[in-house]
A and B are shown apart, each in its own frame.
Chain A
Amino acid sequence: SAVISQKPSRDICQRGTSLTIQCQVDSQVTMMFWYRQQPGQSLTLIATANQGSEATYESGFVIDKFPISRPNLTFSTLTVSNMSPEDSSIYLCSVPTFRTDYGYTFGSGTRLTVV
């Protein structure tokens, strides 16, 4: 399965600022997914990043708050904009494996704290 490099691994940011998270995959993948895990909560899908087209956002998530780029088949970024303490979470990127019964492969995550 694919290997994902995600960075930064953690950051502490001031409210009102923005942070861009990067994910690099060691193979070409059609879709990349961005998840958020708030403290004590499940992993929630933010959006699906498609190469060459706009990202598809899940209910409750909007492009102005979480703009996504997907310039090629191995790379994607997620920006958390105009941050507030409620944005403090772990953000994860993931890609499908080649088998449905294996689900997805995940990056190591970015632990974001907004102060």
Chain B
Amino acid sequence: DQQVKQNSPSLSVQEGRISILNCDYTNSMFDYFLWYKKYPAEGPTFLISISSIKDKNEDGRFTVFLNKSAKHLSLHIVPSQPGDSAVYFCAASAVLQGAQKLVFGQGTRLTINP
């Protein structure tokens, strides 16, 4: 049972344009949603998060939107830069089986074309 899903395995965007990465979830118990960025041969690094009680969080070029009724969140990157090329993981946090845990999506490989 995949509780967090990223249905697009890859996305290609022109430099300077907006990149939109999507994520869907099924468990209403998630209290935080996070985006991680991963370069090859490195571990995932935290990018931005949003609490389940908010619908938008912005940090520089990165904005995360949460639609609780649709159980959907998205990450907007604008303007996109070549250094943004990486795999992006959506993750959701909740207390599961008595412990705080992160559940990850499958990732979306973002390629920014010059």
Partners in one complex: yes
Which residues of A are at the interface with B, using a C-beta cutoff of 8 A? 4, 6, 9, 31, 40-45, 48, 56, 92, 94, 96-97, 100-109, 111
The answer to whether B41 touches A96, judged by C-beta atoms less than 8 angstroms apart, is no
CA distance A33 to B2 in the complex (A): 20
Closest 6 CB pairs of A and B: A106-B43, A43-B104, A42-B104, A101-B49, A42-B106, A103-B34
Over the window 49-89 of chain B, the binary record of Cβ atoms lying under 8 Å from chain A Cβ atoms (1 yes, 0 no) is 10100000000000000000000000000000000000001
Closest chain A CB from B104 CB (angstroms): 4
Does B99 lie within 8 Å of A56, measured CB to CB?
yes
In the complex, 9 of the A-B residue pairs with CB atoms within 8 angstroms, ordered by the A residue number, are A42-B89, A42-B104, A43-B91, A44-B104, A102-B46, A103-B34, A103-B49, A104-B46, A106-B43
Interface pair A101/B32, CB less than 8 Å apart:
yes
A108's partner among B32, B43, B107 (CB-CB below 8 A) is B43
Q: Which residues of B contact A (CB under 8 A)?
A: 2, 4, 9, 31-32, 34, 36, 41-46, 49, 51, 89, 91, 93, 99-102, 104-107
Option from B41, B42, B89, B100 in Cβ contact (under 8 Å) with A100: B100
Q: Are B99 and A41 in contact (CB under 8 A)?
A: no
The residues of A that contact B34 with a CB separation of less than 8 Å are: 101-103
